[in-house]
Amino acid sequence: MSALAASGALPRASLLQFHVTEDKAVNLKTARSKIEESLSGGGGGEKPKLLVLPEVWNSPYATSAFTEYAEELPSVEKGEDMMGSESAKMLSEAAKEFEVFIVGGSVPEREGEDIYNTCMVFNPAGVLVAKHRKVHLFDIDVPGGISFKESDTLTAGGDLLTTFETGDRLFGTVGVGICYDIRFPEMALLLTKERDVSMICLPGAFNMTTGPAHWELLQRARAVDCQAYVLTASPARATDEMLEKVKKEGKFPPYTAWGHSTAVNPWGEVIGTCNEGEAIVEVEIDMRKSKEMKTNIPTALQKRSDLYKVDVEA
């Protein structure tokens, strides 16, 4: 039995769901205060060791806003050089101060002429350890439902598999995707096949059409496909009053997020979730459950690669 099991102390992770406004300074302040709140340890128990923030938390979720709010972000290779990015600086400082892994939701990133939807991950020393640029852009048109075209302003990332290491006493190898990426089982399957992830974190911002139908379903599906935990964090849904204000005074079209930040275990069970308002969802993670599933139902070994392949280009 591992020391972890003997002490009974399983590591915890928290999903931070909060409102996003048109005011970047306010968004930075909100995110920082939610990080602090999630680690204030009211119950006297173990503090979470990993936090997940929502997709696009420093800017309105509007294609017309991304260029204006975009920041040049550091690269993993450049370590602590934050390139003057306020968002990277805040996340790095908070990770270091509170000694916690932060999967920093996503923010619009500028590199040359291109704008990406990018997730940065900081380790408890405040070092950038992973960066994922959304690979599958959210371009859909559901008549009578939702039309959105991220590719109007965003460029898709070219690196499919993003992971970081937390060690076997925490969450093992963790994969990262962003929102629409969750619809592509091949990506999740490759995270398992190539990197043997125990957990996949996906900041997201589903909507009122696909949210009720697919948000939880996709998370449970990916958890069972990959035999891993799936953690998502969404912005809180704007209240009617907030939406009215944006419609009257706002610069960008309003976006109504589904909310419902959720954690699913490798068995496919929802172990933590919330409604549409601001929330902090804290869950226990037992990465041995992922290993157990992979041993007990060894689908990875039973694939008929003679008949079909899920493959990644080097």
Ligand X SMILES: O=C(O)CCC(=O)C(=O)O
Q: Which residues are catalytic?
A: 55, 134, 179
Shortest CB 84 distance to ligand X, Å:
26
180 binds ligand X (CB under 6 A): yes
Shortest CB 210 distance to ligand X, Å:
3
Which pair of tokens denotes residue 111? Answer: 């590199």
Check: CB of residue 137 under 8 Å from CB of residue 180. yes
How far is it, in rounded angstroms, from Cα 237 to Cα 227? 30
**Binding track, positions 194-233, relative to ligand X; x by CB under 6 A:** -----------xxx--x---x-------------------
DSSP line for 75-91: -GGGTT--TT-HHHHHH
For ligand X, give the closer residue by CB, 136 or 294: 136
Which pair of tokens denotes residue 6? Answer: 């003997």
Q: How many residues bind ligand X, per CB under 6 A?
A: 10
135 binds ligand X (CB under 6 A): no
For ligand X, give the closer residue by CB, 49 or 134: 134
For ligand X, give the closer residue by CB, 150 or 196: 150
Number of Cβ within 10 Å of residue 189's Cβ equals: 18
In 166-275, DSSP assigns E strands to 173-176, 199-203, 229-233, 263-264, 270-272
Indicate the DSSP class of residue 208: T
The one among 51, 170, 179, 285 contacting ligand X by CB under 6 A: 179
The one among 69, 138, 164, 229 contacting ligand X by CB under 6 A: 138
183 binds ligand X (CB under 6 A): yes
Closest CA relative to residue 73, chosen from 20, 25, 121, 125: 121
Question: Interacting stretch for ligand X, rule CB under 6 A, among 12-20, 79-87, 162-170, 175-183?
Answer: 175-183
How far is it, in rounded angstroms, from Cα 231 to Cα 98? 21
123 binds ligand X (CB under 6 A): no
How far is it, in rounded angstroms, from Cα 62 to Cα 67? 10
Question: Interacting stretch for ligand X, rule CB under 6 A, among 3-11, 36-44, 179-187, 299-307?
Answer: 179-187
Residue 1 to residues 4, 8, 227, 292, 295, Cα–Cα distance (Å): 8, 11, 21, 14, 17
Strand 270-272 relative to strand 279-284: parallel, antiparallel, unpaired? unpaired
For ligand X, give the closer residue by CB, 66 or 206: 206
Shortest CB 271 distance to ligand X, Å:
22
121 binds ligand X (CB under 6 A): no
Number of Cβ within 10 Å of residue 145's Cβ equals: 12
For ligand X, give the closer residue by CB, 71 or 150: 150
For ligand X, give the closer residue by CB, 252 or 267: 252
Q: Exposed (0-12), middle (13-18) or buried (19+): which is 16, by Cβ within 10 Å?
A: buried
Question: Interacting stretch for ligand X, rule CB under 6 A, among 77-85, 119-127, 176-184, 259-267?
Answer: 176-184
User: Where do contacts with ligand X occur on this chain (CB under 6 A)?
Assistant: 55, 138, 179-180, 183, 205-207, 210, 214
